[in-house]
Amino acid sequence: MNYGSVIFLGVFATFVASWWGMIFAPQLQLGSQQPKVPEGASMAYPTLRPGVAAQGHKVYVAAGCVQCHSQQVRQQGYVFDVLLTGTTNQQGTAKALYALGIKDGTQLISSATDTTPQPVRKNISQAEANRIQKTLTDSGATAPMLFIPIGADIQRGWGFRQSVAQDYLYENPVQIGNSRLGPDLTNIGARQPDAQWHLRHLYNPRIDIKGSTMPAYQYFFEKRKIGKTPSPDALKLPPEFAPAAGYEIVPKPETLRLVAYLQSLRTMTPLFEAPMTQLPQVKPAGDTNAPAGTNAPTATNAPTPKTNSPSTNTPAK
C-alpha cells in the first residue's frame, strides 16, 4: 500500500496547525488592537512619538542598541498591602487590630487619614489581604487594599508595571531585544530625563557610570574649535574627559534625535491588563511614545502606591 499521500497530508496538516497557532491566531488576537483610552485618562494610549524622537528611533535601530538593551519589563506577579485610612468605630477597630496582632492600634487609628494611610500588613498574599480587610471593614474601619507589582525588573526600577502588547502599537520595528548586557530601557526617559546625561553617556559611559562596559559612541560627536561663543549644545564634561583648551565636543544632529528618542521612552500609564500603583498627587509626566516633560519620575521622585479596591482593580489571575 502506498502511504505517500497519507504522509503528505499529515505533514501538511502539521504545518497548517503550526501556522494557525503561531501566526494566524495571534494576528486575530493582537493584530487589530488599537489605542484605547484607559480608565481615568483623557486621551488614548499610546500616542504617536513626536517627530524628532521618531527620527531618533531610526538612529537607535541603526546603531544596533537592541543588541545590548531590551525594552520589555517583566513581572512575577503581585503582593498586597492593607492600609487603614479611617474608622467610624475606634473601639471596634482597635479590638480588630489587636486580634490581628497589632498592639499599638490606638496610635495607628489616630494617625490614619485619606492622605496619610497607615499600613496594617505589607507584602502579603491576596487571600490574606482579603481576610484582614474584611476583619477591619466589619469593625467599622475603612481599609483599602493595594497591590504592588513584584519581580527583578520592578525591583531594579526599570519600570512600574509589566510591558504588554499595547505598549508597542506604534513601534516599527519593535526593539524588545533578547539580551541585557546593559539595563532595560523601557522607562529610561523617566529614570533619566536629563538630555545632558544621555549625551555624556553616549560620548563616554564611564563619565557617570564607573566600570560601564558600554562602548563610547564618539562618532556621534564633533570635536571643534570654539568660535566667538561656545555652542549651546556643547557637552559639559569633567576635566579628565574634556578636550584641550579652545576646543569643544558638540553632538551631531542624529545624536540629538537619538537622545530625544531615549527621553521619550516611558511607560507610565496603568492599563487594565497591566495595572500599576501610584499616589494620587504624583501624576505621570508622560506615556510611552510621549515627549519628555517635567516632573518625570526619577530615583527620588518615583510614583508610590495608590490604594485600589480589589473588587475594581485587582489584577486578573
How far the first Cα of the chain sits from its last, in Å, is 52
- Residue 118, classed as helix, strand or coil, is strand
**What is the distance between the alpha carbons of residues 102 and 106, in angstroms, rounded to a whole number?**
10
C-alpha cell at 137: 471593614
Element (H, E) at 145: strand 145-149
Domains of the chain: 78-149 (3.30.1390.10)
**What is the distance between the alpha carbons of residues 113 and 198, in angstroms, rounded to a whole number?**
41
Element (H, E) at 14: helix 4-19
| Residue ranges, the chain, pLDDT below 70 | 1, 30, 278-317
DSSP H helices in 123-194? 126-138, 152-155, 188-191
* Nearest CA-CA partner of 292 in 69, 58, 53: 53
Are 295 and 285 within 8 A, CB to CB?
A: yes
Please give the pLDDT value at position 223: 96
C-alpha cell at 290: 510621549
Please give the pLDDT value at position 1: 59
Please name the residues in contact with 55: beta carbons below 8 A apart, sequence gap of 6 or more.
257, 260, 261
Are 151 and 75 within 8 A, CB to CB?
A: yes
Please name the residues in contact with 241: beta carbons below 8 A apart, sequence gap of 6 or more.
203, 204, 207
**What is the distance between the alpha carbons of residues 46 and 77, in angstroms, rounded to a whole number?**
23
C-alpha cell at 152: 527583578
Please give the pLDDT value at position 299: 31
Please give the pLDDT value at position 25: 84
Tally helices (H) and strands (E) across the chain: 11, 7
Are 90 and 105 within 8 A, CB to CB?
A: no
